Amino acid sequence: MPSAPTDQERGARANPPAGGSPLQRINLEERLAWLERHIVEQDKEMLVLHDALVRLRRELAALRSASTPRNDRDDAPAAGETEPRPPHY
């Protein structure tokens, strides 16, 4: 039965030397390159989404300005009419 690792052994594994092994360094460099590429791709997509949002806001403003304002008097009941009570009364 193997014995439990000593505190010194645990510390050595938890805190590898500052330089690390060449494989660890390569692995970290690969991960860093992947993250940097991912950030660039996200930036491009955010720019596309921003442009779409700007375009949609312009279209919405154009639609709002093109729509005719509603005349509130058309919706109001005539002088002798009363509005029906809502169903919950």
Please count the structural domains in the chain. 1
Evaluate whether residue 76 is within a structural domain: no
Evaluate whether residue 51 is within a structural domain: yes
Three-class DSSP category at 37:
helix
Domain around 31: 19-64
Q: Report yes or no on whether pTM surpasses 0.85.
A: no
CA distance 38 to 46: 12
Evaluate whether residue 3 is within a structural domain: no
Evaluate whether residue 58 is within a structural domain: yes
pLDDT tens for 26-82 read 999 999 999 999 999 999 999 999 999 999 999 999 999 998 666 555 556 566 678
Evaluate whether residue 5 is within a structural domain: no
Evaluate whether residue 13 is within a structural domain: no
Three-class DSSP category at 83:
coil
CA angle 5, 6, 9 (to 5 degrees): 80
Evaluate whether residue 6 is within a structural domain: no
Cα distances (angstroms) measured from residue 46 to each of 10, 23, 33, 52: 44, 34, 20, 10
Handedness of CA 19, 23, 28, 29 (dihedral sign): positive
* pLDDT recorded at residue 88: 80
Evaluate whether residue 71 is within a structural domain: no
